[in-house]
Structure 1
Amino acid sequence: MGLPSKHRLKRRLNFQSVYQQGIRRSSRYFIVRGLRVDESVSVYTQIGISVSRKVSKKAVVRNQIKRHIRVAFRSLLPKISSPWFIVIVVKPEVKECNYEHFLRELEKLLIKANIINGY
C-alpha cells in the first residue's frame, strides 16, 4: 500500500518552493529536500518523489522504486512531528538497493535533515 492522498505532494508550486527555499541533504542513493510549512498551509506532511530517466529507461522500474519509497515512508510518517513538504530525488545507484536499504537510508537522511527529531 502506498501513501494516502493527503500525504502526497502534488502541486508544481509546492515542488518549486521546496527546491528554492528548502534544505538539502544527500546520501549514496537519495537526495532529500525539505521545507517546514505552517499549519495554515498544510496540516499534514506531504511527500513528493522524483525518479528521472537516468535511473532507468523503463517506467516499470521507476514506478517500482516509487512504490518502495512510499511504503518506506508509511512507517516513517509517525516519527515526523510538524508538517513538512519533502521531496525525495532518487540517484541512479538506487537500482542495486533493496527495501531494507531504502528504509534505513531514508531514516538516516531524515535524521540528518532534522526532520525526524531526537532519533
Structure 2
Amino acid sequence: MGLPKAHRLKRRQDFSQVYQQGKRFKTAHLTLRVLRRSPSPSDASSSQPLPTRIGFSISLKVDKRAVVRNRIRRRLQAIVRQLLPFMGGSWDLLVVVHPQATQCDYLQFLQELEQLLVDAEVLHGYQRGCVL
C-alpha cells in the first residue's frame, strides 16, 4: 500500500523545483531535500494548510535490479506513512537514496529518516528519539 494520493510528489516539475531550491539534509544512506510550499492565489482563501507531499528518488546506481530498488522504496513509504500524522503541512519532501542503502534494514531507515525530518523541522514537537 503506497502513500495517499494527496501526499505524493508526482510531477517532474515539482521534483526539479524541490531538488534545485530545497534545503538539503544528509545522513549516511539518505538525503532529504525540503521546500516549503506557498498556497496558490486560488488556495489562499482557505485556512487549511496544503498537504505535505513526498517523493522518492532511487537511481540505478543504488542497484541495477528493480526488485531491490522497489523494496527500498516500499520500506521508505511505509515509514513515511507512519510519520505522516506527525508532520506539519505545506512541505514538499524529496528522499534521495544513496548506493550504500542496499545493506540497510527497516529500523535503520526509520532512524535515519526520522533524524532527517527532525533536523529539517518537519516533524512537530519531537526532539531526537523514536516517534513510533
- TM-score bin, normalised by smaller chain: over 0.9
Quote how far apart the aligned CAs of 1:51 are: 0.3
1:93 corresponds in structure 2 to 100
In structure 2, the partner of 1:4 is 4
Letter in 1 for 2:32: V
Instruction: For residues 25-60 of structure 1, give each alpha carbon's deviation from its aligned partner in whole angstroms, at most 9, with x where no partner exists.
Output: 000010000101124478211111000111101011
Residue 110 of structure 1, CA deviation: 0.6
**Which residue pairs with 1:69 in the alignment?**
76
Q: Following TM superposition, where does structure 1 have runs of at least 4 consecutive aligned residues deviating by more than 4 angstroms?
A: none
Give me the identity figure in percent: 47
Q: Quick one: distance in 2 between partners of 1:39 and 1:69?
A: 27
Gaps of 5+ in 1: none
In the alignment, the residues of structure 1 paired with residue 107 and residue 85 of structure 2 have an alpha-carbon distance, to the nearest angstrom, of 18
Name 1:31's counterpart in structure 2.
Answer: 31
- Aligned CA-pair RMSD: 1.4
In structure 2, the gaps of 5 or more residues are 44-48, 127-132
Higher CA-based Rg: 2
Distance 1:73 1:103 in 2: 9
Q: Secondary structure at the match of 1:9?
A: coil
Taking the aligned partners of 2:89 and 2:50, their CA distance within structure 1 comes to 8
TM-score, with length taken from structure 1: 0.93
Aligned counterparts of 1:117 and 1:28: Cα–Cα separation in 2:
24
User: Which residue is equivalent to 2:85?
Assistant: 78
Match of 1:13 in 2: 13
Give the distance between the partners of 1:79 and 1:4, measured in 2 at CA.
15
Letter of the 2:72 counterpart? I
In terms of fraction of residues, the more helix-rich structure is 1
Q: CA deviation at 1:75?
A: 0.8
